């Protein structure tokens, strides 16, 4: 099951719910294999990384780049 998260874009401060970008197959199990995820803002299209902590995400420093696997 896909999970969306309430996030705030660190680039333009847009707030809303987004799905993580990347390998959507990683979210099929009940417990995700992926703990670092990437989001893309709907307003400015900026990308940033976050770490999944329980049912929430915590943004990583904007300077830290996470690799995104191709779908």
Q: How many domains does the chain have?
A: 1
Asked if the structure places residue 22 within a domain, the reply is yes
The least confident of 7-11, 35-39, 61-65 is: 61-65
Could you identify the residue written with the tokens 């995700």? 32
Which tens digits make up the pLDDT trace of 34-57?
688 999 999 999 999 999 888 888
Give the model confidence (pLDDT) of 11-30 as tens digits: 999 999 999 987 555 555 55
**Residue 71 domain-assigned (yes or no):** no
Range of the domain at 54: 4-59
- pTM tops 0.85: no
CA distance 71 to 58: 24
DSSP annotation of 63 reads T
């Amino acid at each position: 099951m896909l999970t969306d998260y309430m996030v705030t874009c660190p680039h333009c401060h847009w707030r809303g719910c987004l799905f993580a970008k990347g390998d959507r197959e990683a979210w099929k199990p009940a417990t995700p294999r992926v703990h670092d995820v990437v989001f893309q803002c709907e307003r400015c299209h900026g990308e940033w990384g976050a770490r999944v902590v329980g049912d929430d995400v915590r943004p990583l420093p904007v300077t830290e780049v996470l690799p995104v696997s191709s779908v």
